[in-house]
C-alpha cells in the first residue's frame, strides 16, 4: 500500500470509493425521480373513474421519468466504462468525478421542469444545459485521465481513448443544436434529444462502441 519514496502518495486514493460514491449518487438520483410522480388528491371518497382519469393525465410526468431514467442509465454505463479503464486515481480525478456527480444530481430538477412545463422554451434550454454540463464533465474526466496515459494503462487501445472522446463531443454538438432549435420550437429540441437518447442506448446497448475497438467479438451477441 505504501508507495516507494518519490512516487505520488496521491495514487493511494482508491478508485473503489470513487465508484461507490458515484453508484450511490446515481442510485439516489434515479430513485428521487419517482418523488415527482404524485398520487392525485381527490376530495370525494369513491373516486372511481375520476381517479383513473387523473392518473392518465400524469402521462407527461411518467414520460419525463422514463426519459431521465434512461439518460441516467446512459451516463452511469459510460462512467462505468471510463472507470474500468482508469487504473490509478488521484485528488484531481476525485474532483472531476465530484463535478460530474454535481451535474448528474441536477437531473431531478430538470426532469421536474420537463414534466411540468414541457411546452416551454425555458425547459428545453434548462434540460439541454444540464445534459451539456454532464457531457462536458465526462469529457474533462476522460481527457484528464488519458492525456499522456496519465491514469490509464499505457498500452490502452488508442481507438478506445478516441471513441470515448468523440462520443461526448458529438453529444455536445447535438445538444447545442437542439438548444438553438428551441428558439424556433421547443418541440424540435425534444425530438433531437430523443433521437440522441435512443441512438446512445442502441450504441451502448448493442456494444457497438466496444466492438469497434476490440475486433470480432465472441458468442455474446444477439
178 grid coordinates: 437542439
| Interface positions, 130-169, toward its own copies (CB under 8 A) | 144, 147-148, 150-151, 153, 155, 160
- Paired residues of 86 in beta bridges: 152
Q: Residue 149: which region, alpha, beta or left (left: phi > 0; alpha: psi -120 to 50)? A: left
**Positions 164 through 203 that interact with its own copies (CB under 8 A):** 201
Nearer to its own copies, 91 or 173 (CB): 91
Q: Find the binder of its own copies among 64, 75, 76, 182 (CB under 8 A).
A: 76
Among 95, 166, 185, 191, binds its own copies (CB under 8 A): 95
The DSSP code sequence of 23-44 is HHHHHHHHHHGGGGSPPPP-SS
First to last CA, the chain: 42
Q: Is 214 in the site for its own copies (CB under 8 A)?
A: yes
For its own copies, the binding residue among 64, 75, 86, 112 (CB under 8 A) is: 112
> In this chain, which of 57, 59, 63, 84 binds its own copies, going by CB under 8 A?
84
CA distance 104 to 191: 22
| Per-residue mark of binding to its own copies, 4-33 (x: CB under 8 A) | -xxxxxxxxxx--x-xxx-xxxxxxxxxxx
Amino acid at each position: 500500500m505504501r508507495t516507494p519514496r518519490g512516487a505520488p502518495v496521491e495514487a493511494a486514493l482508491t478508485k473503489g470509493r470513487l465508484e461507490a460514491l458515484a453508484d450511490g449518487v446515481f442510485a439516489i438520483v434515479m430513485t428521487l425521480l419517482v418523488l415527482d410522480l404524485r398520487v392525485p388528491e381527490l376530495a370525494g371518497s369513491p373516486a372511481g373513474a375520476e381517479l383513473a382519469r387523473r392518473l392518465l393525465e400524469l402521462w407527461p410526468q411518467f414520460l419525463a421519468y422514463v426519459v431521465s431514467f434512461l439518460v441516467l442509465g446512459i451516463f452511469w454505463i459510460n462512467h462505468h466504462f471510463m472507470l474500468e479503464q482508469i487504473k490509478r486515481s488521484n485528488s484531481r480525478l476525485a474532483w472531476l468525478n465530484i463535478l460530474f456527480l454535481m451535474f448528474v444530481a441536477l437531473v431531478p430538477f430538470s426532469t421536474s421542469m420537463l414534466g411540468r412545463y414541457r411546452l416551454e422554451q425555458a425547459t428545453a434550454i434548462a434540460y439541454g444545459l444540464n445534459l451539456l454540463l454532464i457531457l462536458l464533465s465526462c469529457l474533462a474526466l476522460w481527457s484528464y485521465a488519458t492525456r499522456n496515459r496519465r491514469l490509464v494503462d499505457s498500452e490502452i487501445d488508442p481507438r478506445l481513448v478516441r471513441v470515448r472522446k468523440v462520443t461526448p463531443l458529438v453529444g455536445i454538438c447535438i445538444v447545442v443544436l437542439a438548444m438553438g432549435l428551441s428558439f424556433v420550437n421547443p418541440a424540435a429540441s425534444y425530438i433531437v434529444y430523443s433521437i440522441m437518447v435512443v441512438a446512445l442506448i442502441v450504441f451502448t446497448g448493442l456494444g457497438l462502441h466496444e466492438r469497434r475497438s476490440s475486433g470480432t467479438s465472441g458468442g455474446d451477441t444477439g
